Amino acid sequence: MKTIITAAHLITPTEWIESPLIAVDDGHISALQSRHTMEIPAGTRHLDFPDLVLAPGFIDIHIHGGAGHDVMETDEAAREKIERQLARHGVTAYLPTTVTAPQDRILHALEHLGKAVTHSSRNIGRAVPVGIHLEGPFISHAKRGVHPPASLVPPSPAALDRFWQASVGTIRMMTVAPELPGAIETIAHARALGVHSSLGHSNATYAEARAGIAAGADHATHTFNAMRPLDHRDPGILGAILEDTGLTADIIADGVHVDPSIIRLFLRVKGEDGAILITDAISATGMPDGTYSLGGFAVQVKGNRCELEGKLAGSVLTLDRAVRNVMDFAGWKLQQAVKLATLNPAKLLGIADERGMLAPGRRADMVALTLKGEVVYTIIAGELCQ
């Protein structure tokens, strides 16, 4: 049955449209126009959000878990709980993100997640995994954060191939420290596989970071966190990330990982086209304070801080809160902030012809927001999530 969706406003996100009308057929948008120019056909289902703003569904490219569960668990029921929680916060697509662990554990998780990605179209009312983000084990010992040092692996095309094959070709992104021996060859190999290399967990010099970008790296992981600090005589990896207009970069905009003043600076430098919001959320997201798992190791959670031995270990941030924080911290408008969680990650992943924008031919994945960016409803493939 055709569905007609109407609202007070709509963010595409490149345009702001008043009194929109969206026609949905078979989970995709078949028409988008002003309500004043089209009558609602008789016999159609009508979803009306008279005081809300429609926007594309959010896309989180870096998330480890939520609702008490970790994406590296192999229980289907655990992943369903994570995906339903994501949908409640406006996320309609995501990259389940692994952490450094013994290789057999990573391979087992990749096998499970690869099957989830290839069968994701069966999910109803849940965020959809559109690929996997491999965070570790190709990272720097010096900037590993809480990733266990015993499980770090030198990057190599052969090592990447093992992970790629286990995932059934569903890895879409890997975080890599470009200064490590073998990293440049691995980045080039990843590019040939269609895997995006994201610079992160790195102590790289400026020259080493530039070499990684030249080899094919096109993104940066949780900018400022787990990176060599920026210095005016030693710009390091941050200098390369911030100056390169062709490199997108993501940030954890929770006010804990990065001070709001630095978030404002980051947004000013990378701009509306180069910045992406992520959560780096762990299993504790949406749960009370306590001890939770991140890829198999225990993390202490109190308030908005997740720590292991005094080091930050992921977050309890949700992507809708990150959008609102950009509005609060930087004074950005809702339309500007939404783009960082929709079209920008979709472009990075090469799926903007399907997701991240509301237009005819795209999937009918959208959120109904208040003008302050609060999620009221989430719609996935034209179906209202309950």
C-beta contacts of 301-310 below 8 A and 24+ residues apart? 304/254, 304/255, 304/256, 305/256, 306/282, 308/146, 309/146
Supply φ then ψ for residue 262, to 5 degrees: -75, -35
Among residues 70, 254, 280, 320, which one is catalytic? 280
Q: Taking each helix axis as running N to C, give the angle between helix 206-215 and helix 236-243, from 0 to 180 degrees, rounded to the nearest 10.
A: 50
Distances (CA, A) of 142 to 149, 152, 180, 244, 329: 9, 11, 11, 24, 30
Residue 120 structure tokens: 């994701």
Instruction: Tell me how far apart the alpha carbons of residues 9 and 3 are, in angstroms, rounded to a whole number.
Output: 18
The answer to whether 259 is a known catalytic residue is no
DSSP structure string for 13-75: SS-EEESEEEEEETTEEEEEEEGGG-PPPTT-EEEEEEEEEEEEPEEEEEE-EETTEETT---
CA dihedral 167, 171, 177, 179 (to 10 degrees): 90
Active site residues: 280
